[in-house]
Amino acid sequence: MKITVIGTGYVGLVVGACLSETGNEVICADVDKAKIDGLKQNILPIYEPGLEEYVERNQAAGRLAFTTDVPAAIKDAEVIFIAVGTPPDEDGSADLKYVLAVAESIGRHAEREVVVVTKSTVPVGTAEKVAAVIQPLAKVPFHMCSNPEFLKEGAAVDDFMKPDRVVIGVASDFARDRMGELYSPFVRTGKPVIFMDIPSAEMTKYAANAMLATRISFMNEIANLCEQVGANVDLVRKGIGSDSRIGPAFLFPGPGYGGSCFPKDVQALMRTSEERGTPMGILRAVEDANSRQKHRLFQKTQEALGGQVKGKRIALWGLAFKANTDDMRESPALVLIEDLLAAGATVVAHDPAAMHETQRRIGDRITYAKSSHEAASGADALVVVTEWNEYRFPDFARLKGELKQPIVVDGRNLYDPAKMQALGFTYRSIGRGRA
Instruction: For the chain, give every domain's residue range.
Output: 2-196, 205-292, 294-428
What's the pLDDT tens digit per position in 67-104? 999 999 999 999 999 999 887 776 667 789 999 999 99
Q: What is the pLDDT of residue 92?
A: 67
Catalytic (active-site) positions: 261
**Do 294-428 and 2-196 fall under one CATH topology?**
yes
Q: What is the pLDDT of residue 352?
A: 97
The 8-class DSSP code of residue 177 comes to: H
CATH 3.90.226.10, applies to 205-292: no
* C-beta of residue 404 within 8 angstroms of C-beta of residue 376: no
Cα–Cα distance measured from residue 329 to residue 320, given in angstroms and rounded to the nearest whole number: 8
Tally of CB atoms within 10 A around 236 = 18
The 8-class DSSP code of residue 185 comes to: G
Cα–Cα distance measured from residue 84 to residue 394, given in angstroms and rounded to the nearest whole number: 40
Q: Which residues contact 70 (CB under 8 A, 6 or more apart)?
A: 6, 29, 31, 102, 105, 109
Question: Per CATH, the architecture of 2-196 is what?
Answer: 3-Layer(aba) Sandwich (3.40)
* C-beta of residue 373 within 8 angstroms of C-beta of residue 402: yes
Nearest CA-CA partner of 44 in 94, 10, 19: 10
- What pTM was computed for the model? 0.90
Cα–Cα distance measured from residue 432 to residue 152, given in angstroms and rounded to the nearest whole number: 27
Angle between helices 332-342 and 355-362 (to 10 degrees): 50
| Phi-psi domain of 424 (left: phi exceeds 0; alpha: psi -120 through 50; beta: other) | left
Q: What is the helix, strand, coil percentage profile of the chain, to 5?
A: 45, 15, 40
Cα–Cα distance measured from residue 60 to residue 64, given in angstroms and rounded to the nearest whole number: 8
Cα–Cα distance measured from residue 274 to residue 39, given in angstroms and rounded to the nearest whole number: 41
What's the pLDDT tens digit per position in 344-390? 999 999 999 999 999 999 999 999 999 999 999 999 999 999 999 99
Q: What is the pLDDT of residue 91?
A: 67
- Give one DSSP letter per residue of 27-39, joined into a string: EEE-S-HHHHHHH
Q: Are strands 166-170 and 193-196 parallel, antiparallel or unpaired?
A: parallel
Alpha carbon distance, N-terminus to C-terminus of the chain: 59
Per-residue pLDDT of the chain (435 residues; tens, 9 = 90+): 999 999 999 999 999 999 999 999 999 999 999 999 999 999 999 999 999 999 999 999 999 999 999 999 999 999 999 999 887 776 667 789 999 999 999 999 999 999 999 998 888 899 999 999 999 999 999 999 999 999 999 999 999 999 999 999 999 999 999 999 999 999 998 899 999 999 999 999 999 999 999 999 999 999 999 999 999 999 999 999 999 999 999 999 999 999 988 998 999 899 989 999 999 999 999 999 999 999 999 999 999 999 999 999 999 999 999 999 999 999 999 999 999 999 999 999 999 999 999 999 999 999 999 999 999 999 999 999 999 999 999 999 999 999 999 999 999 999 999 999 999 999 999 999 776
CATH 3.40.50.720, applies to 294-428: yes
Cα–Cα distance measured from residue 13 to residue 19, given in angstroms and rounded to the nearest whole number: 10
Nearest CA-CA partner of 291 in 368, 213, 366, 399: 213
The 8-class DSSP code of residue 346 comes to: E
Nearest CA-CA partner of 186 in 15, 361, 311: 15
> What Rg do the C-alpha atoms of the chain give, in angstroms?
23
- Alpha helix segments (H runs only) across 63-172: 70-75, 97-109, 126-134, 156-161
